[in-house]
Amino acid sequence: MLFHTDLFIFGFLPITLAAFFIAAKVNRRLPIFVLIAASLIFYAYWMPEVTLLLLGSIVFNYFAGMFLQSDRPKAQRRLGIVAAIAIDLGLLAYFKYANFLMGTVHGLTGLGPGPLDIILPIGISFYTFTQIAYLVDSYKGEVKERSFTSYVLFVTFFPHLIAGPVLHHKEMMPQFANPETFRFNWLRITLGVLLFVIGLWKKVVFADSMAPLANEVFNAADQGVTPEFFTAWGGSLAYTLQIYFDFSGYSDMAVGLGLMFGIVLPINFDSPYRSSSIVEFWRRWHMTLSRFLRDYLYIPLGGNRHGDFSRYRNLFLTMLLGGLWHGASWLFVVWGALHGAYLVVAHLWSQAGFKLQSFVGKTAAPFAGWALTLMAVIVAWVFFRATTVTGAGDMLGGMVGMNGADPGVLLNYLADARLWGVGSPVIAALAAALLPNSMWVVKQAEKLLTENRRLVIACGGVLAGVVGFVGLMFIGAQNEFLYFQF
């Protein structure tokens, strides 16, 4: 079930909201069971055959966490956490990487059966990493809330279950234990609907409008059609906008849905395409994943505690593994390696005392930093989107002019009405570059609405109407969210 479908917007969501608040009138803990049931239905609707795997993972990790929180000898707990994480990663490796590994071995050596026919459970990377973080914190003695039902909801809560944000237990468990979370609140619901509307618009108006051009160019390149300069750049820019508005839109909808149920989820995006350095980009893009990689991979690898060489090695390895986390493909490994290299170069540049303004002047430095950062990100996105190494190479070749340049293609782009209308690349790019981000809009709305209850109710009604309008006008092909495959 997708957030931007008629079934979800006009069926699942209102029924779940009604059941949730009715349950809250009956018993303080009953809403938790309603959300658990709704979340399992949400997940099972998509892939019923792997719902038992999700439940098994939850039960296993909960009791593993209880073992790690016990007063058993440290040696036993150390062995326990190693075994538990190995089992989690083993399941993830089987379902997500077995096809990739078998195919690679067969391609290089001719040995083995080649890729296997293994179904990839939706959201397995997100719920596995969420629970690994829980195990680590259990081992460190940082887990305070031990309710099994709260833990089940922490993992399964449907707004984040499929594609994040990546949650931390200490952000969520106290909310489930707080009675105020389950009280009907017009302001929270209105702000949640507002954020959902923003995310819905990003997805179905902007992201889905970019998809046809990006798909056309990249699919052709993967099939051996070499794109000329303007075609390659058109496809690359379309995908750069598509993936941002797709994933940012999903994250906004997830946080908005959480607010409707009184639950605050962490934000995941902070206008990343305005970043003036690659370091800043990773502080703004997929912020909860960046936090997870820092806390549970970069720091355990040694972080910056053992000198500069170890720091840069650990930074590069973290991004390399972060790339592999996104998908079982050498292209994702290249994408991660590129960003690892970008970050190492950025830190070396800073450590050497270089400043961009020394080369381009103080006035032009911010723009030059932004342009260089965006260029690096766009180049890396080529490997993220392409499905073959040859296709990625042809795209990059086209972008640097190796396949020639046809001015007629540019003229056709400029004459195409789709370039300038609602949901067009031009409008989408201007929105990403200039408009306030979603969280700023919500904070301003909260300030305005806090003092006026009638205005809150009126705005809630208007926004609900907007959801219906956007749903009826723009929901058609119902393209999947890009991050569902990761």
Task: List pLDDT tens digits, range 145-179.
Answer: 888 999 999 999 999 988 778 888 888 988 988 88
Per-residue pLDDT, averaged over 129-135, amounts to 92
Which is more confidently placed, 346 or 445?
346
| Residue 253 token pair | 């909808």
On whether residue 27 sits in a domain, the answer given is yes
Give me the DSSP letters along 30-83. Answer: HHHHHHHHHHHHHHHHH-GGGHHHHHHHHHHHHHHHHHHHS-S-HHHHHHHHHH
Do 230 and 131 lie in one domain? The reply is: no
**Other CB atoms within 10 Å distance of the CB of residue 439:** 16
Domain count, the chain: 2
* pLDDT, tens only, 85-108: 999 999 998 988 887 777 777 667
Do 118 and 36 lie in one domain? The reply is: yes
List the one residue out of 309, 339, 310, 300 whose CA is nearest residue 322: 339
Least confident of 18-22, 25-29, 310-314, 354-358: 354-358
What is the distance between the alpha carbons of residues 114 and 100, in angstroms, rounded to a whole number?
9
- Asked whether the beta carbons of 165 and 265 are under 8 A apart, the reply is yes
| pLDDT value of residue 87 | 96
| pLDDT value of residue 329 | 87
Domain of 18? 6-183
On whether residue 1 sits in a domain, the answer given is no
Do 370 and 470 lie in one domain? The reply is: yes
What percent of the chain has a predicted confidence (pLDDT) above 70? 90
Do 131 and 192 lie in one domain? The reply is: no
Q: How confident is the model at residue 422 (pLDDT cuts 50, 70, 90)?
A: low
Active site residue 326: yes
What percent of the chain has a predicted confidence (pLDDT) above 90? 50
What is the distance between the alpha carbons of residues 16 and 261, in angstroms, rounded to a whole number?
10
- pTM beyond cutoff 0.95: no
| pLDDT value of residue 280 | 95
Q: How confident is the model at residue 413 (pLDDT cuts 50, 70, 90)?
A: confident
Do 165 and 219 lie in one domain? The reply is: no
Q: Which of 121, 152, 183 is the last residue of a domain?
A: 183
Q: Which of 164, 183, 202 is the last residue of a domain?
A: 183
Least confident of 1-10, 254-263, 419-428: 419-428
Q: How confident is the model at residue 448 (pLDDT cuts 50, 70, 90)?
A: confident
On whether residue 70 sits in a domain, the answer given is yes
Q: Which of 148, 183, 218 is the last residue of a domain?
A: 183
Active-site position among 168, 169, 326, 339:
326
Per-residue pLDDT, averaged over 387-400, amounts to 95
* pLDDT, tens only, 199-246: 988 888 889 888 888 999 999 999 999 999 999 999 999 999 999 999
On whether residue 165 sits in a domain, the answer given is yes
Do 194 and 256 lie in one domain? The reply is: yes
How many contiguous H segments (helices) and E segments (strands) does the chain have? 25, 0
Do 85 and 194 lie in one domain? The reply is: no
pLDDT above 80: residue 190: yes
| pLDDT value of residue 461 | 64
